[in-house]
Amino acid sequence: MKEECCPKFNPKPWDGKILKWKNKKFIKGRVLTLFYMPLNFGGVITKMNKKVENAKANVLDWLCLSDHTSMWNMDLFLAVDKEIPDAENVKISGKFLTKVYEGPYQDTGKWTEDFKKYANGKNMDIKKWYMWYTTCPGCAKKYGKNYVVIIAEVG
């Protein structure tokens, strides 16, 4: 069996949590999409991981936030433990609500509707959405679970 490229995801620490980030470090990448479907995700994340490795830094929790900015592109934010040379370093601050979902990517519409109700039930307004696709399709198939975490900045 092929060694995994993605660690097995434990949903428990991420489901139904409130996170407070102050200047959490990320590096940013951009993925081309066609009607929201990523075209070069693997290549972009590989380049980002290489920059982290070259800087002798770490990806924290294997956390990679996806921000679908349009039907044509998506920004990636890879959580790191220090500034990375030759990368677009960004910091994210705020209060974030999380919820874990499991299933095929085609259920994303159902998940987002559920998450809106979930946030509303907690009297929170969603300011910004991120999706965390916790494993690549190959590792999701290998593990038998395709976990996706919605992480939303809330107010």
The predicted pLDDT at position 3 comes to: 57
Residue-wise pLDDT for 23-56, tens only, equals 999 999 999 999 888 999 999 999 999 999 999 9
Give a yes or no: residue 114 inside a domain: yes
Give a yes or no: residue 126 inside a domain: yes
Give a yes or no: residue 129 inside a domain: yes
User: What distance in Å separates the CA atoms of residue 52 and residue 80, rounded to the nearest whole number?
Assistant: 8
Domain range for 36 is 12-154
Q: Residue 148 sits in a domain of what CATH number? A: 3.20.80.10
The number of domains in the chain is: 1
Give a yes or no: residue 7 inside a domain: no
Q: Is 114 helix (H, G, I), strand (E, B) or coil?
A: helix
Give a yes or no: residue 6 inside a domain: no
Q: How far from 54 is each of 77, 85, 126, 144, CA to CA, in Å?
A: 18, 9, 36, 32
Intervals of the chain under pLDDT 70: 1-4
Give a yes or no: residue 3 inside a domain: no
For residue 42, give every residue at least 6 positions away whose Cβ sits within 8 Å of its Cβ, in sequence order, or none: 136
Give a yes or no: residue 1 inside a domain: no
For residue 51, give every residue at least 6 positions away whose Cβ sits within 8 Å of its Cβ, in sequence order, or none: 27, 84, 85, 86, 87
